[in-house]
Chains A and B, each alone.
Chain A
Amino acid sequence: MEAVYDWFRVFYQDTGINLTFIYDSYDRNRLIDGFFMTIWLSVICLVLSMVIGVVGAWAQGARSIILRRVVAGYIEFFRNTPPLVQLYFFYFAIGSILPTTENRFGFEEPILGNFAWAVISLSFFAGAFNVEIFRSGVEAVPESTKEAAEALGYTRLQTYLYIVLPLAFRVCLPALNNNLVNLVKTTTLAYAIAVPEMLYMANQIWSDSVNVPEMMTFLLIAYVFLVGVLVWFMNRWERSMRLPGFG
């Protein structure tokens, strides 16, 4: 590996193209951490937003009118404000009124840090769309299909698990995919509240080493690659799960 690093050092001296994130171990580790932070952030937000979507869809079908109103208000708030503003709002406004814990430096630190707020904010953002998606998905399954299942001796739970959910899921998939792809792209905004994801780390590196073009090119390629792989995989999945004769 040392030979490779040295080669890139010489490459810098010869061409002026400074790829510090390859030969400088500090920069390399930063960028790798940033890359995994982006993926980690995306995965956690994805899972949480799905949970929020399912719970929200259930709450929208609940009898309590208050519960339904709350969910409707939640969806409206998150759909209509820019995610950047949501992040600021959660982190600086909501974050400051929550209880605090004392850290080892004797400071009353807010219990949730920037990563936690990024997760919460982005999950709620994506979750708001998931609620509507899941609700439409479940509504899309006709009564007659459920009755048919009942006639075949399925219990209610079994009908839900084996008939309604699989059908609903396949109906939801295209919309869910859009949402997931957007979520990965939106994680770049966590930069604004100093979550050390890939864009943040790249920015730190180009500030230190004055190699903006190199870092920018790397970032663009890395994100297009990441999202491209995701879209490709999702499209394949969507095609294989497609309901025949529909859409």
Chain B
Amino acid sequence: MDMFGKKPVLHGATDLPVLLPAAARLSATAKKERAAGFPLPHLKARHGFWLLAILLLSAGIAEAQSGTPEKQSAFAALINWAPVMLEGFVFNIAISFLAMAIGTGIGAVLGLMQISLLPPVRGGSWFVTQFFRNAPWLVLLFFCMFLLPFEFNLGPVTIPFPDWVKATIGLALPVMANVSEIVRGAVKSLPSGQWEAAESLAFTRRQTLWEIILPQCVKRMLPPWMNLYAILTMATVLASIVGVSEMMTQTGRALAAENRPELLIPFYSFVLICFFAYCYPIAVATRRLERRYQVKL
């Protein structure tokens, strides 16, 4: 497949062949999760069926519990509220898309700054990256929600900042930091011999980076980047805690309007199913790409 495909397995390549492939696997997972900044889900098709089973079961129990005929059945209530909840889900998707775009754009620049030869640039970008990687997502979200203005005045142009845009920025910050780490990690993962070979062929540093190093990095970065997207999509539910009208919030409001605690589980499992339906294809695609682009890190 590619030039690294035939490299001997890790334990054979070291001076001390003490440990078995399990160690290499673990080390690879640890690196992957460190880059994504959060443990990765392992979605499988059967999880979708389980969720559906939970939904049906809990709705059935809710039916049995309510008993009183004048009340709507749990299923009818769910169908009734589904459009409102799905409307919220659109926000989740929009937030995840935008946050990923912003985070990737800024994070890529930040990641390249981390391999700069200038110590202040390197140190500064390292600090920013670490700062936003270490802050809990929920806290960053609260921060942006309450401290960003609702609109920016740039002379005659006014850029409005609705809630969901603020939440997007709040989620883009940790994404940015993690993309920065992914970029740095990918560049660092290439053998230094490549830099030296390029230098001996009279490539400038910029040429080496753009024409030799980065093209190889894209392949390595794609799977962790997609993993990060999956994590981000699931994290968009955190926006409910700060009051954005996304799916969890809409579900909470629907439950408040219905005011029937037995609907709690069917409604929330419906939320989970929506997220599963969206994330599962992405997870499958990521695994395929991972296998296709497998390189020994």
- Direct touching of A and B (C-beta under 8 Å): yes
Interface residues of A (CB under 8 A from B): 76, 79-82, 84-85, 88, 92-93, 129, 132-133, 136-137, 139-142, 145, 167, 171-172, 174-175, 178-179, 181-182, 185-186, 188-189, 191-192, 199, 212-213, 216-217, 219-220, 223-224, 227-228, 231, 243-247
| Given A219-B139, A244-B15, 14 extra CB contacts under 8 A | A132-B29, A136-B23, A137-B23, A167-B19, A174-B34, A178-B34, A185-B137, A189-B138, A216-B142, A217-B143, A219-B143, A223-B136, A227-B135, A228-B130
The answer for the CA separation of A223 and B275 in the assembled complex, in Å, is 29
Which residues in chain B, 22-50, are within 8 Å of chain A measured between CB atoms?
Answer: 22-23, 25-27, 29-31, 33-34, 38-44, 47
Q: Are A85 and B130 in contact (CB under 8 A)?
A: no
Tell me the interface secondary structure of chain B in the complex: helix
B33, B136, B147, B268 — which one has the most chain A CB atoms within 10 A of its CB?
Answer: B136
Q: A129-B39, A185-B136 are in contact. Are A212 and B33 (CB under 8 A)?
A: no
Residues in A neighbouring B34, C-beta threshold 8 A: 174, 178
Complex Cα gap A179–B40 (Å): 11
Q: Are B23 and A82 in contact (CB under 8 A)?
A: no
Which residues of A have CB within 8 Å of B134? 181, 223-224, 227-228, 231
Q: Are B20 and A223 in contact (CB under 8 A)?
A: no
B18 touches A246 (CB 8 A): yes
Contact A76 B44 (CB under 8 A): yes
Do residues A140 and B20 form an inter-chain contact, with CB atoms below 8 A? yes
Kindly list chain A residues whose C-beta atoms are within 8 Å of the C-beta of B238: 84
B123 to chain A, nearest CB (A): 15
Find the A residue at minimum CB distance from B132: A224
Contact of B138 among A76, A136, A191 (CB under 8 A): A191
- Docked Cα-Cα span, A217 to B30, in Å, equals 31
> Which of B19, B27, B241, B272 has its CB near the most chain A CB atoms (within 10 A)?
B19
Binary contact readout B124-152 vs A (1 if CB under 8 angstroms, 0 otherwise): 00000011001111111011001100000
**Interface check B264, CB cutoff 8 A:** yes
Chain B contributes a number of interface residues (CB within 8 A of A) equal to 50
B16 touches A139 (CB 8 A): no
Interface contacts (Cβ under 8 Å), in number, total: 137
Closest residue of chain A to B142, judged by CB? A216
Can you give 30 contacting A-B residue pairs, CB < 8 Å?
Answer: A76-B44, A80-B43, A80-B47, A82-B237, A84-B238, A92-B264, A133-B26, A136-B22, A137-B23, A137-B26, A139-B20, A174-B27, A175-B33, A178-B39, A185-B137, A192-B241, A213-B146, A216-B139, A216-B146, A223-B135, A223-B139, A227-B134, A243-B16, A243-B19, A244-B16, A246-B10, A246-B11, A246-B18, A246-B19, A247-B27
In the bound complex, do residue B20 and residue A141 qualify as a contact, i.e. CB atoms below 8 Å apart? yes
Residues of B within 8 A of A145 (CB): 18
Bound together, the chains give a CA A61 to CA B105 distance in angstroms of: 45
Is B265 part of the contact surface with A, judged by Cβ < 8 Å?
A: yes
Contact A76 B241 (CB under 8 A): no
**Does B138 contact A80, Cβ atoms closer than 8 Å?**
no
Contact between B19 and A188 (Cβ–Cβ < 8 Å)? no
